[in-house]
Structure 1
Amino acid sequence: MFNKILPALVISFLASACVTSPTGRKQFVFLPDTQVNQMGLQAFDALKKEKPVSNNAQYNQIAQCIAKAITQETGGSWEVVVFEDASPNAFALPGNKIGVHTGMLKLVDNQDQLAAVIGHEVGHVLAKHSNERASQELAVNEGMNIIQAIGAPQTALGQTAMGLLGIGAQFGILMPYSRVHESEADIIGVDLMAKAGFDPRQSISLWQKMERASQGQQPVEFLSTHPSNETRIRDLEQHMPQTLALFQQAQAAGKQPHCI
């Protein structure tokens, strides 16, 4: 009897764990959003203890202004923190948390390029990529220790947990998002920035600029965890007509951010 019931339970569990991402992709996600959001909150608190927070009023105003315009398209309240860090990097975490390095603010040429970065990172959160990676890890390894390890980010298991959230580079471990996740975040992000009134064509300029910044030297941290290549730029170019239509609609509706 038990042998007959168990397969049925497994099938039922797998069916309930299959969800659809904002782009229509099938995902294996079984952790409750509340649990993954708590992981994000704990990770963000750990980062604020580990990294100095910038007091630069201009940097904070710019980051807050751009993030607010983008997240208004998603709903909810988001916390934005600028970290004093020379590496050009940014990230977003479950639980509506956004971190921007001062190095990224120095690198971008305009508000639209920073909007492309923030939109991309928010895209990872909206598509539940952290939950998807954590669910896959738990399905393979079993047990919940990896979630509990968020509270100790300096441990080996804690670093792995941070990596699953997409910020492992902060703690010495690289767990890049997959090409699928990157492509998805690109599309979600560029549509978000366009809906908010930012010029989506600057997303292509941003990735070209990031690649040039890495030539002849150690790749910048953002590209180590967010690979940029010809495929990414080509995909954005192919999607641009649809995104430009969203941008034109936003402009017509009076959405014209002036953050810088």
Structure 2
Amino acid sequence: MHAPRLSPALRLAGLALCGVLLVSSGCYQVPVTGRAAVNMVSDEAVVKMSQTAFADLKKRTPLSRNQADQARVRQIGERLAKVAFWDVPAADWEFVVFDSPQQINAFAMAGGKVGVYSGLFQICHNDDQLASVLAHEIAHVAAKHVNERLSQDMAIQGGGLLVGGVMSTTGAGAIPANAVLNAYGLSSSITATGFDRGKEKEADHIGLIYMARAGYNPEEAPKVIENLEQASAGRVTPPAFLSTHPSYPERILQLLDLMPQALEIYQRSGQTRAPQLVK
């Protein structure tokens, strides 16, 4: 069933209302980067919808039976969550590994629900490298990227979602479940695009600082990108300007630019240790 088309007048009114909200109480500051961002949706609603989606995903996707992998991801994730606490104080963190060897991927949802597909271990050769991926996903949550994405979708649609109920900031029913999954890039719909390149680069930045604060060697972060590039060799991928993710060299260069700051934080963390190789 298709949503009714908005008249030009209603679309203009929606855009105007979005503009008012942008200027008023919808702004927040992204941790670490300090970027000013916009959130026009209810934090509570996004968290509740995310928790519901995560619970459903656990029912539909088998969990890994490798208890060592489950414990390893949980231990690293909880250590990273501690350094992100003040940026996400109300999160109920949960870290699980899904049995999906073909998927080299991980994700995090508002409220602290983090999923790792078992294929990710193909490119993470030690704890520090795994920490860099988990820190990147935690960074998406800390930066409220899904809230920002939903807010942008509202503005693009000229207030369509706003008029349809998202303006109500109480209750998860105000936000369509599919809209939340699309924003995470986890929906099977062709509209599921996930986060844009700017948000992915910002998550790289924040994640690098988080892993350094937690005592994981930030120099391992670029190596994960290199491993991913090698694992992706021969696969059909879109050109960088069409991809929602930055190109591999672009991501590595940014990480190297931030490395002196990250290494200084890492050296002060008091938890310096050598990478533990996966056997």
- Normalised by the length of structure 1, the TM-score is 0.83
Superposition deviation, residue 107 in structure 1 = 2.9
2:210 to 183, 192, 205: 192
Instruction: Look up the match of 2:96.
Output: 81
1:27 to 37, 42, 67: 37
Q: Which amino acid aligns with 1:16?
A: S
Superposition deviation, residue 218 in structure 1 = 4.0
Q: Which amino acid aligns with 1:241?
A: P
Instruction: Verify: 1:144 aligned to 2:162, yes or no.
Output: no
Instruction: Verify: 1:41 aligned to 2:41, yes or no.
Output: no
Instruction: Look up the match of 2:268.
Output: 249
Residues 189 and 12 of structure 1, relative CA distance in 2, 3 Å threshold: closer
2:24 to 15, 40, 43: 15
CA RMSD of aligned residues (A): 2.6
**In 1, distance between residues paired with 2:34 and 2:109?**
21
Structure that is richer in helix per residue: 1
Relative to structure 2, which stretch is displaced further, 14-23 or 53-62?
14-23
Q: Do the aligned partners of 2:181 and 2:192 also contact (CA within 8 Å) in 1?
A: no
Residues 226 and 65 of structure 1, relative CA distance in 2, 3 Å threshold: farther
Q: Do the aligned partners of 2:183 and 2:192 also contact (CA within 8 Å) in 1?
A: no
Structure 2: gaps of 5 or more residues: 1-15, 86-90, 167-172, 238-242
Matches within 5 A, 1:1-260: 11=20, 14-22=23-31, 23-75=33-85, 76-86=91-101, 87-139=103-155, 140=157, 141=160, 142=162, 143-144=164-165, 148-150=175-177, 158=178, 160-168=179-187, 174-219=192-237, 226-250=245-269, 253-254=270-271, 256=273
**In 1, distance between residues paired with 2:245 and 2:97?**
19
Instruction: Look up the match of 2:7.
Output: none
**In 2, distance between residues paired with 1:258 and 1:211?**
21
Q: Which amino acid aligns with 1:55?
A: R
Residues 257 and 36 of structure 1, relative CA distance in 2, 3 Å threshold: farther
Q: Do the aligned partners of 1:207 and 1:228 also contact (CA within 8 Å) in 2?
A: no
Superposition deviation, residue 85 in structure 1 = 0.6
**In 2, distance between residues paired with 1:48 and 1:214?**
27
Q: Do the aligned partners of 2:97 and 2:117 also contact (CA within 8 Å) in 1?
A: yes
Provide the aligned length of Structure 1 versus Structure 2: 240
Residues 235 and 10 of structure 1, relative CA distance in 2, 3 Å threshold: closer
Relative to structure 2, which stretch is displaced further, 35-44 or 131-140?
131-140
**In 1, distance between residues paired with 2:18 and 2:120?**
48
Structure 1: gaps of 5 or more residues: 1-6, 151-157
Superposition deviation, residue 54 in structure 1 = 1.2
Relative to structure 2, which stretch is displaced further, 194-203 or 69-78?
69-78
| Residues 93-113 of structure 1: per-residue CA shift (max 9 Å, x gap) | 001111011111233111111
Instruction: Look up the match of 1:3.
Output: none
Superposition deviation, residue 13 in structure 1 = 6.2
Q: Which amino acid aligns with 1:194?
A: A
- Normalised by the length of structure 2, the TM-score is 0.78
Superposition deviation, residue 46 in structure 1 = 1.7
Residues 57 and 28 of structure 1, relative CA distance in 2, 3 Å threshold: same
The residue matched to 2:40 in structure 1 has which SS? coil
Q: Equivalent pairs: percent with the same residue?
A: 34
Q: Do the aligned partners of 1:59 and 1:105 also contact (CA within 8 Å) in 2?
A: no
Q: Do the aligned partners of 1:130 and 1:166 also contact (CA within 8 Å) in 2?
A: no
